[in-house]
Structure 1
Amino acid sequence: MLDEQIEKIVLFLLKQQGQLATRLSGLADHCDDPLLHGPHYDIMELRDAYREVGRDLLRLLFFVEMNAIGLRKILKKFDKRFGYRFTNYYVKTRANHPYSQLRQVFKHVGISAVVGSISRNLADLQDDRRRYVSIYDQPTLCISDPMIESIKAAENRLMNSTDFLQYLGKHAFIMQDELPSPSSEEHAVNERYHFMSLLLNLANTFLYMVNTYIIVPTADNYSLSLGAAATVCGVVIGSMAVAQIFSSVYFSAWSNKSYIKPLIFSSILLLIGNTLYALAYDLDSIYVLLVGRLFCGLGSARAVNRRYISDCVPAKLRMKASAGFVSASALGMACGPALACLFQRKFKIFRLTFNEDTLPGWFMAFAWFIYLLWLSLFFREPAFEKDEIIVQREASDTIVETGFSEPLLLGSGKNQEDEEDEQHECDDDPSEESAEESREPVTSIMSAYRLLTPSVKVQLIIYFMLKYAMEILLAESSVITSYYFIWSTSNVALFLACLGLTVLPVSIFVGSYISNVFEERQVLLASEIMVCLGIVLSFHVIVPYSAPQYILSALLTFVSAEVLEGVNLSLLSRVMSSRLSRGTYNGGLLSTEAGTLARVVADGTITLAGYWGMSRLLNITLLPSLAICISTIIATFSIYNTLY
């Protein structure tokens, strides 16, 4: 039955494409008419005719998109009802077949040809005269018509094609709606948008990442100067992540009512935390040091940063804002260690000591003070409605509005008893979403957990794994390199800064090339294997342990984990319930909690491994990473065909 319905969709799609092609052919014949160079209104009418074809093409894309979403949900229901991985069997036997019609629903080239024809002819007509220079030779001649932009956006969503900006934005895991927002909802978002506020939001992201990594090169020396072991640096670094587990929840809830208040509160906590971190040296107290880092973790407002972009930035700018969020994070990650490299000074002012251990704390305290003043003066609080109405966009309404009335598995004779049985099934299964609730945010962490399918759980575990591997690599770098290679603080800082600078170039390569040549699930699996290979190469099995081995294995692990993060979050946003795109317990919060928990466990592992001695530290900390990585590869194979 499903095969027959998919065949109907594909044949209907081909028929509509043929009709659009016929209309374009007729318009092309009209373009060759000598009357084209006559009165101005002929050209205007011709432009309108091309735009009307574009509008019909957009309706067709919405129709296909609705059915693609419906197909995923139908397969999900079959898995749930049968207790059998029907999706795995169905996709494997249908998607890779040479006559696959399933693939036609998700990937096709006919629509791209129609888009190209409309774009070229509108470009020819833009100056009221025919051009004799092809847009293929000079792409800058293509006009930026709103209709063309809408068609391209819908086509990209359907075909999962991407570019650097989109790929980078996916790292932010700011979940997008499956379909475009209604005009009324988009208008409300436009009213809340303020560029300076967005800039301040991104500045908060940047400073927080600087704050996180600026202490990594010196944490082991600071611990030693306070009478603790060098491996206590794991606890020092990880205490910030421990506090972030809790701060993410209350900041996410707070952002339901305000944005400026949690950002101000966050800045004050970070100002206090960094001051305590710097004062710990003169107070000679490891506990003051840890309390300072806990305050910094409690000031983590990344949940607010994500929510502001999701709720207050218009859809047309949201991908750019998401890319800005990721770029700010990557730049902060690189700048943190680089700044630590500059603080190789030692002096006193009154009784306060300023050296390579305390200067990062004093610098960040001053930076947060300046940011707090900037925030108070220029951030504009967006308007919050008392009872914000989320517009319902049911499938039937969208299809009627777009002019096509042949949705997937169209019921010709569904009676009231069938509808009651279906409703009863949905009531029994909390993971299924009724039409009325599909846009309602969840209200508790347990409700969010019940919406997690096996595919989503595996992908959250993958996210945990990659963050664990990256944290082990970064947090113990100063200890490992000083023990094996006798690197100075400057060398460690330079190494970490170079790792951070690889994020953007790798994203450009993957987003512009790899993600358009291979399926995301293929890139996901390959990246996991490369992370595993990087971990294996990091083990100390060859005597002596060389710096080139460490650098190459660390680079392979870090770059592979960055690629893995992008494709994993991209796939996660598609298979995760739409109810997790909004509210306090959203998908961004769940991924943040998984990543933060990974950092906590990794930093704790470093400190615990220190009890077995420095000579065994590297191998002991890498063993859990290897075990988790192998487990996720096995789990990925088990759900591979559901990532479609």
Structure 2
Amino acid sequence: MKKKVKRYTEQIEVGSQNHYFVLKDFSRLLDCQIEKIVLFLLEKQGLLATRLSNLGEQHHALIQQSDGSRISELQEAYRAVGQELLRLLFFVEMNAIGIRKILKKIDKRFGYKFTDYYVKTRANHPYSQLRQVFKHVGFSAVVGALSHNLADLQDLQNNQGNYISIYDQPAFSHPDPVIDSIKSAVDRLSNSTNFLHFLGRHAFIMEDELPTPSEDESLEQRYHFMSLLLNLANTFLYMVNTYIIVPTADDYSLSLGAAATVCGVVIGSMAVAQVFSSVYFSAWSNRSYLRPLVFSSIVLFVGNALYALAYDLNSITVLLIGRLFCGLGSARAINRRYISDCVPLKLRMQASAGFVSASALGMACGPALACLLQTKFKIYKLTFNEETLPGWLMALAWLVYLLWLWISFREPHCETKENLVPNEANAGQLANVTLENGYTQPLLMKIEAKQQDEDEDQERDDAEEDSQEIHKPVTSIVVAYRLLTPSVKVQLFVYFMLKYAMEIVLAESSVITGYYFIWPISRVAIFLACLGLTVLPVNIIVGKYITNIFEERQVLLASEIMVCIGILLSFHIFNPYSVPQYVGSALITFVSAEVLEGVNLSLLSRCMSSRLSRGTYNGGLLSTEAGTLARVVADEVRMPPRSKNTGNIRNNSSNGRNQQDENQELGMTKASHQR
């Protein structure tokens, strides 16, 4: 088909053919290719149905004879059929991606949306063969026969038999692994989703388009549950560390005598340092996971201690250095990389969902903890109050985490890290190599034609790479940038903007609520905690219902419109500027941006080159950098309150740092009278 597209281009350039002929001829050729796929698919399904029918007779005889000795043998026979079905699903997926790629190529070459025409005319036709490829028509019956027969044999093996039919109790606590693999392949092929998958996409841990049917033994050996738990704990603590200071950062900066404009710098300095730390931590994880995590914990301990000591040292410089250290200790790139490299495929989506859940809970727990730290006391010369306690608490937390990490973390084997190259004997990965070169080979080809295809594939088109380098990870940021197609760049920009909107809502909350509503720190912290707690319920609704009803492009557009509406509602247009207006606009903006993030990353993972699924400069690192830069910009452009109303921000912000308690109380009383 690629050769035909090139020939069409040459014919149109010399004027020997017109666009109408090209559309007609290309449609006919593509229909023929899809028909070959479907007929081959039906033939294989018939063979599988015959094997299942024969196994069904043996199954019935086994039940009649009550012979339990052959249960294991029959289970293995069913699993073998399941493996064949799984290979057939990989074949369909490979061809489905090939169809998408050739449609994309002809759209690019001729400059009009042939894909829209072709899909609309074929997708809903009663005799559509395209639906056989993209909607897995006919697979459900085979999967159903496999699943209920395996469950029936499992019940016989366990000597239960306490229900009339397998359909009365189809769910088992330990479903067969081959059934789980088949269901995952069917979901991936049809792009159907559930809450777990939708939530896991937020982690943006990319996988190959065609993973291997069997689990990689080396990956199983490297997996260690406690190490995964420690990575998730690191994610949680870092998000708590990021947002625990948001309600009090303005007060802290002003109490040290800094200008109001420095408040945004204090919050944003952590994100500035994270831009650089993500790169060197991602590169360090090529050689080790334990050492960079230990280094990260030490740096975060020092950073939080400096943040807390800045009060007694009366130094805004120490405060900023402490936050920079906290950003330099960001190990989110390692957390993502560990899940991608060391968690088996069957657990990777759960681990990704755990990563996102830990981040969301940390975002909610940070402000909530700040609300609980409303106290003041001194130990020797160290002051513990609502401004320094977040730093002391997080320093203690990172110290405990460091001890736990040193005792419990197990360094995985280093046999597959930066230079992870799949085994060429693996059929699934060979299919992926073929896929990345832009063509598929469901049937045998002549040597001359194959060589001609290989010659033509030297053209660089979007994310198509050379077959010898397709599984090599990206080694520089320049190469990574070259692999970003226009659609990927647009999605990264959308990700940047949604993170910018979310950070504006969170970071500006203390300034806006203090300036307009004179909220105390506790109320600001509760408000931020409530925003963070909306993440999981919103993802449940979107993941289980909305994305299965509407196309992702529709959800993307709707959520972008809602973010825009939330931003417009936040402007001070009507007097007075009310609490319901502010809370409503912040809620709409934050929730819509959260929905937009999940859909955006889902589309991004399907558009981005598979070379960016591994190595130092992977897709997760690029998305982290885009989100971090958005936070930097959002924090640095924060608008300070007017100088004449600075005293209205907090009760104690106008008091001098070195006053005695009596003078502080007097100053607070005067400030309240002025209000």
TM-score (normalizing by structure 2): 0.83
Task: Name 2:188's counterpart in structure 1.
Answer: 157
Deviation of residue 511 (structure 1)?
Answer: 2.1
The 5 Å alignment of 1:254-333 reads 254-333=284-363
Deviation at 1:428, TM superposition (A): 4.9
Deviations 1:500-549 (A, max 9, x none): 11111222222222233333333222222222222222222221111112
User: How many Å apart are 1:593 and its aligned residue?
Assistant: 0.5
Deviation at residue 179 of structure 1 after TM alignment: 2.1
Q: CA offsets, 1:590-638, max 9 Å, x none?
A: 000010111111112214x7689989xxxxxxxxxxxxxxxxxxxxxxx
Aligned to 1:4: 32
Q: Residue type matched to 1:383 in 2?
A: H
Structure 1 position 411, deviation (Å): 6.9
**1:499 counterpart = 2:531:** yes
Aligned to 1:111: 139
Cα pair 2:272 2:629 within 8 Å, conserved: yes
CA contact (8 A) 2:211 2:429 kept: no
Counterpart pick for 1:169 among 197, 200, 205 = 200
Measured in 1, the distance between the counterparts of 2:320 and 2:516 equals 27
C-alpha separation between the residues in 2 aligned to 1:334 and 1:441?
Answer: 36
Deviation, structure 1 residue 397: 6.8
Instruction: Compute the displacement of 1:261 (Å).
Output: 1.2
Distance 1:469 1:207 in 2: 23
Letter of the aligned partner of 1:254 in structure 2?
Answer: W
Deviation at 1:310, TM superposition (A): 1.0
How many Å apart are 1:47 and its aligned residue? Answer: 3.9
1:122/1:143 contact within 8 Å kept = no
Superposed CA offset, 1:219-241 (max 9, x none): 11112212234453222111111
CA distance in 1, matches of 2:459, 2:425: 19
The offset of 1:431, in angstroms, is 3.8
Distance 2:302 2:292 in 1: 15
Taking a change above 3 Å as real, the CA distance of residues 349 and 51 of structure 1, as seen in their structure-2 partners, is: closer
CA contact (8 A) 1:230 1:479 kept: no
Moved more, 459-468 or 411-420: 411-420
Alignment partner of 1:445 is 2:473: no
Which residue among 160, 164, 169 is the counterpart of 1:133? 164
Report matched runs for 1:166-315 at 5 Å. Answer: 166-181=197-212, 186-315=216-345
- Out of 511, 519, 529, which is 2:551 matched to? 519
Q: How does 1:57-76 map to 2 (within 5 A)?
A: 57-76=85-104
Distance 1:315 1:417, change over 3 A: closer
Distance 1:450 1:328 in 2: 33
Contact map agreement 2:562 2:588 (CA 8 A) in 1: yes
Q: Residues 426 and 432 of structure 1 are in contact (CA less than 8 Å); yes or no, is this contact kept in structure 2?
A: no
CA distance in 1, matches of 2:72, 2:293: 50
- Residues 338-389 of structure 1 show CA distances to partners (whole Å, capped at 9, x for unaligned) of 0100111122222222211111111111211221222222222222139955
Give the partner amino acid of 1:173: F
1:179-232 alpha-carbon deviations (Å, 9 max, x no partner): 22475x821122222222222111111111000000011111112212234453
Distance 1:400 1:593 in 2: 31
Matched with 1:483 is 515
Distance 1:565 1:115 in 2: 33
Residue 570 in 1 paired to residue 602 in 2? yes
Q: Which residue in 1 is equivalent to 2:179? A: 148
**Residue pair 1:276, 1:291 contacting (<8 A) in 2 also:** yes
From the superposition, tell whether residues 47 and 376 of structure 1 become closer, same or farther in structure 2 (CA, over 3 Å): closer
Q: 1:4 to 1:56 in 2, by over 3 A?
A: same
- Does residue 1:378 correspond to 2:408, yes or no? yes
- Cα separation, partners in 2 of 1:528 and 1:395, compared to 1, 3 Å: farther
Separation of aligned partners in 2, 1:496 and 1:434? 48
Q: C-alpha displacement at 1:19, in angstroms?
A: 4.0
The answer for the alignment partner of 1:544 in structure 2 is 576
Q: Tell me: CA distance 1:97–1:590, structure 2 relative to 1, closer, same or farther (3 Å).
A: farther
The aligned counterpart of 1:586 is 618
**Structure 1 370/534 Cα, relative in aligned 2: closer, same or farther at 3 Å?**
same
Greater Cα offset, 156-165 or 78-87: 78-87
Q: Is contact 2:204–2:620 with CA below 8 Å preserved after alignment?
A: yes
Once residues 135 and 219 of structure 1 are traced to their aligned partners in structure 2, the CA distance between those partners, rounded to angstroms, is 60
Shift of 1:456: 1.0
Tell me the distance in 2 between the aligned counterparts of 1:497 and 1:81: 50
Q: How many residues align?
A: 608
Compared with structure 1, are the counterparts of its residues 532 and 134 closer, same or farther at alpha carbon in structure 2 (3 Å cutoff)? Answer: farther
C-alpha spacing 1:50/1:376, structure 2 compared with 1 (3 Å): closer
Answer whether contact 1:235 1:603 (CA < 8 A) is retained.
yes
Q: Say which is worse superposed, 559-568 or 410-419, in terms of deviation.
A: 410-419
Structure 1 unpaired stretches of 5+: 402-406, 616-644
**Partners of 1:414 and 1:611 in 2: CA distance:** 77
Contact 1:392–1:439 under 8 Å retained in 2: no
> Quick check: 489-498 or 388-397, which moved more?
388-397
2: CA distance between counterparts of 1:595 and 1:302?
12
Cα 1:103/1:597, change in 2 over 3 Å: farther
| Residue matched to 1:629 | none
User: Structure 1 residues 556, 20: closer, same or farther in 2, change over 3 A?
Assistant: same
Query: Percent of counterpart pairs with the same letter?
Result: 72
Deviations 1:400-458 (A, max 9, x none): 99xxxxx9565766554873564355255584223332211111111111111122111
Q: What value does the CA root-mean-square deviation take over the aligned residues?
A: 3.0
Q: Distance in 2 between matches of 1:425 and 1:610?
A: 59
1:471–1:603 CA contact under 8 A, matched in 2: yes
Contact 1:255 / 1:262 at 8 angstroms: preserved in 2?
A: yes
CA displacement at 1:278 relative to structure 2: 1.4
